[in-house]
Amino acid sequence: MKQTIKLSLTLAAYTVVACVGLAFVYRATQPLIQAAADREVTAALSLLVGEASSFEPVTETLSTGVPSIVIDRAYVAKKGNEVIGLVAQVTGPTYASATILFSVNMARQLGTIQFMAISDTPGLGTKVTDEAFAGQFTGKSLDDQFKLGSDLSAVSGATISSRGVSTMLQVASWAAGDYLAGKHGGASGSGSAPVVKEAAPVDVETALQELFPGATFTDVSADITNTLERSVVIDGAWLATADGTVLGIAVQTSGQTYKATTMMTGVKTDRTLAGIRINTSSDTPRIGLAAMVSESFYELFAGKSVDDGFLVNASGFGHEGEMDAVSGATISMMGVANMVKISALEGSAYLAARHGGSGSSSVPDSIVMNQIPEME
């Protein structure tokens, strides 16, 4: 027993001595570690603003106005005593997510951008880090549109990643420029701050008003049934009218996407689509769902003819069709296209039979649907 107690006391003594020693080592080395970290940060900042002689941390929070896009840190760049710009780091959603270091000068222009981290698909989404895409932002005015297909070109096959990066830089650089204008005499913006509406599913009332603005709606759910395909369920239907004229019908359906989705399809009396809106979905938030609720996705369907095939061209799944698959959301798009097809055919048949709509008042005897692979 005495031997055991002696051993325990010896071990306790060694532990105390070790802890005290580590504390002294930490106190001695911590300033050195911090100094090395500071030098690393300064070196990274200097790559973006080479003429700066010092960088002062911004202590207040810079807000982008978009909850999912956060400015992690910011530094005022100085040349001697003169403020020449600001360097900031922003993190936000792309196809997955990215963290970007960027600079803004006093004339409201972006400098070189540097990706600190990106978790998008290697060899596809990560191509946004290539100079061909990233170089487009160098010298760009903060008052530009930052719009793909207009003043920016997307990476082929990586539209979601490209749009995510452009949106992050648009709102974050504006916040940086606004800070410089308000605190350090930088140039002011020529307009109002960019407003980024974070895409999300919409409720039934919102969907109806967006598909048929200004219309009055009558519930005609009892008059619409799905006679074509049991995998799609028609949940409801609303007749859209304005000043006594029938504009079309909005049909709500539920069906399989990557997981499951409920959506609204607007069908006009001339057998074209007013558009689509997603109501609810359990698809992956930053991938399938993010793609489905984007304006660019909605635009793929708006104006299409009811008589189109709505088949998705997805070679990886043995599919050929007239609609190009959306990168990263192929299965989700197949499911949406199937629901749109059923809504379009049943809705247009109803309009032709009861309200003088164009085309046949009957649906085809058979149709070809996108074959969605089974998911675990």
296 close to 164: Cβ distance less than 8 angstroms: no
pLDDT digits (tens, 9 = 90+) for 84-126: 999 999 999 887 789 999 999 999 999 999 999 998 889 988 9
Q: How far is CA 38 from the centre of its chain?
A: 33
Mean pLDDT along residues 219-238: 96
- Give the model confidence (pLDDT) of 338-366 as tens digits: 999 999 999 999 999 999 999 998 999 88
Q: Quickly tell me which residue has 């960088």 as its tokens.
A: 55
**End-to-end C-alpha distance for the chain, whole angstroms:** 60
Q: Which residues have a Cβ under 8 Å from the Cβ of 341 and sit 6 or more positions away?
A: 310, 367, 369
Q: What is the pLDDT of residues 43-74, one digit of tens each?
A: 778 888 989 999 999 999 999 998 889 999 99
- Any residues with CB less than 8 A from the CB of 66 and at least 6 apart, and which? 92, 167, 171, 196, 198
Whether residue 9 has pLDDT greater than 90: no
DSSP state of 237: E
% the chain with pLDDT above 70: 87
Q: What is the pLDDT of residues 254-268, one digit of tens each?
A: 999 999 999 999 999
Q: What is the pLDDT of residue 200?
A: 84
Q: Are 118 and 126 in contact (CB under 8 A)?
A: yes
In 3D space, the residue among 102, 101, 97 whose CA is nearest the CA of residue 116 turns out to be 101
Compute the distance between CA of residue 272 and CA of residue 107 in angstroms, rounded to an integer: 47
Q: Is the pLDDT of residue 3 over 90?
A: no
Question: C-alpha angle with apex 202: 198 to 207, nearest 5 degrees?
Answer: 125
Confidence of residue 289 (pLDDT cuts 50, 70, 90): confident
CA distances from 34 to 22, 27, 215, 267 (A): 17, 11, 63, 63
Whole-structure pTM value: 0.60
CB 177 within 8 A of CB 186: yes
Residue where the block lists tokens 């020449």: 84
- pLDDT value of residue 62: 96
Closest C-alpha to 255, from 318, 310, 300, 302:
310
- List C-alpha distances in Å: 257 to 21, 311, 368: 60, 14, 17
